[in-house]
Amino acid sequence: MNQAHTKLLLAQAGLAAATALIFLFWKGSAEALAALFGGGIVLINSILLAWRVRRAAGLEGNSVVLAMYLGAVERFVVVGACFALGIGVLSLPPVPMIAAFAVGLIGFAYGAHTQQQS
């Protein structure tokens, strides 16, 4: 993973931690834990994306497209399974988990945008 990916992951982790702190002071520890879990899901999603992009870099033509489509499907399945685990198995509150996931995705979009600007 290169320095830009590392900075992006750290930013996402920071946003997830900030979201968890907000839920901790606003609602309590169960909601904060759920927010941390949601932040972890977004980090896993970003790591899988970076891994797939790096693997696809050595491919050519339709192989790149296929690899990226498979990566997208893989990430959807992993994210869905993680939410199912958090909500269904661990009985974590869904709203903080989804909120932290969304904040992390917004952080990813902003970070990707600023990296393109430089």
Are 24 and 32 contacting, i.e. CB atoms less than 8 angstroms apart? yes
- What domain range is 44 assigned to? 3-117
Give 36-83 pLDDT, tens digit per residue.
999 999 999 999 998 888 888 888 888 888 888 999 999 999 999 999
- Axis crossing angle, helix 29-56 with helix 62-84, rounded to the nearest 10: 170
Are 44 and 82 contacting, i.e. CB atoms less than 8 angstroms apart? yes
Domains identified in the chain, total number: 1
**What pLDDT was estimated at residue 73?**
95
d(CA 15, CA 117): 21
What global pTM score does this model have? 0.88
User: Residue 118 — very low, low, confident or very high, per pLDDT cuts 50/70/90?
Assistant: low
Give 9-37 pLDDT, tens digit per residue.
888 999 999 999 999 999 999 999 999 99
